[in-house]
């Protein structure tokens, strides 16, 4: 456990070093977050205005859920593709711009939309499993969700770098996972552990400060709470940018067997041993 945490911290530092050299990369998840909130607000207003679920969650509910998932995934995958495209240029020693990232994503837009449809279908199925009344079914849904996350971690780098269909990109991502990562899953576990701990500390400190501020005035407590919520949102943006950089680095090593500059200390070759 100590070794895993140490590697996770080294992973965060190496990715952060790349991000410090090109802070513009944080704009991709920032814009993505704003776009997903816009999609959410649009669907909520439509569902409420049209009373879609007035008579329960039927076939129409499934259709609306699929459309919502599709739009959300399309936005998220598009901006992730832009981020990864720009990160790959940076890892190759270039100096990417926002236009470079968006250009890489727009060039693969049909494949991105196709993969969004696949991800939306899987998302609807997993949602139904996780909401089931039976504990074992919910447990199955959680396990399948974790497996799906691991299997698709390198889909975006594949989509950006190769002229393949969404199905083929998914297959290649799964082959890369099986051939190189095994059960290590450093990116997901390590990044999640590091930022989970940081977020917990931020929440704890925020609640403490808000509690103290409430003794002076409710307005002060609200302001303090809003500031710490903003910090949490920025952490989410930062994590998303780091995750994109790391997925680009993993893909580059997995396909070219070359450790990108700044990642040597992570001993990626041990993470890529076949299991």
pLDDT value for 52: 72
Cα angle 254, 260, 263 (rounded to 5 degrees) comes to 100
**3-state class of 194 per DSSP?**
helix
Instruction: Report d(CA 21, CA 227) in Å as an integer.
Output: 27
Position 150 pLDDT exceeds 60: yes
User: What mean pLDDT do residues 50-73 have?
Assistant: 82
Is pTM beyond 0.95 here? no
Domain segments of the chain as ranges: 2-271
Tell which phi-psi region holds residue 182, choosing left (phi > 0), alpha (psi between -120 and 50) or beta.
Answer: left
Among 97-106, 133-142, 235-244, name the most confident range.
97-106
Position 274 pLDDT exceeds 60: no
pLDDT value for 275: 45
Mean pLDDT over the full length of the chain = 86
pLDDT tens-digit map of 86-103:
999 988 888 899 999 999
pLDDT tens-digit map of 238-262:
999 988 988 888 788 778 776 777 6
């Amino acid at each position: 456990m100590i070794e895993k945490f140490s590697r996770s911290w080294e992973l965060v530092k190496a990715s952060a070093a790349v991000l410090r050299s090109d802070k513009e990369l944080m704009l991709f998840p920032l814009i993505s977050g704003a776009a997903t909130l816009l999609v959410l607000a649009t669907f909520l207003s439509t569902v409420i205005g049209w009373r879609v679920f007035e008579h329960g969650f039927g076939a129409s509910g499934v259709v609306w859920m699929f459309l919502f998932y599709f739009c959300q995934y399309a936005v998220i995958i598009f901006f992730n593709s832009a981020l990864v495209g720009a990160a790959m240029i940076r890892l190759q020693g270039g100096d990417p711009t926002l236009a470079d990232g968006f250009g890489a994503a727009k060039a693969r837009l049909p494949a991105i939309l196709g993969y969004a449809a696949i991800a939306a279908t899987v998302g609807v199925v997993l949602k139904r499993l996780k909401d089931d009344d039976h504990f074992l079914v919910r447990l199955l849904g959680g396990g399948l969700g974790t497996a799906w996350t691991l299997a698709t971690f390198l889909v975006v780098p594949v989509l950006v770098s190769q002229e393949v269909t969404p199905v083929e990109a998914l297959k290649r991502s799964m082959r890369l996972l099986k051939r190189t990562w095994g059960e290590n899953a450093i990116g997901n576990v390590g990044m999640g552990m590091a930022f989970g701990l940081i977020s917990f500390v931020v929440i704890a400190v925020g609640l403490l400060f808000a509690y103290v501020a409430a003794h002076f005035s409710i307005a002060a407590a609200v302001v303090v709470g809003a500031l710490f919520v903003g910090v949490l949102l920025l952490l989410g943006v930062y994590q998303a940018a780091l995750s994109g950089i790391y997925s680009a680095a993993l893909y580059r090593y997995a396909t070219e067997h070359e450790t990108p500059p700044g990642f040597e200390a992570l001993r990626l070759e041990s993470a890529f041993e076949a299991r």
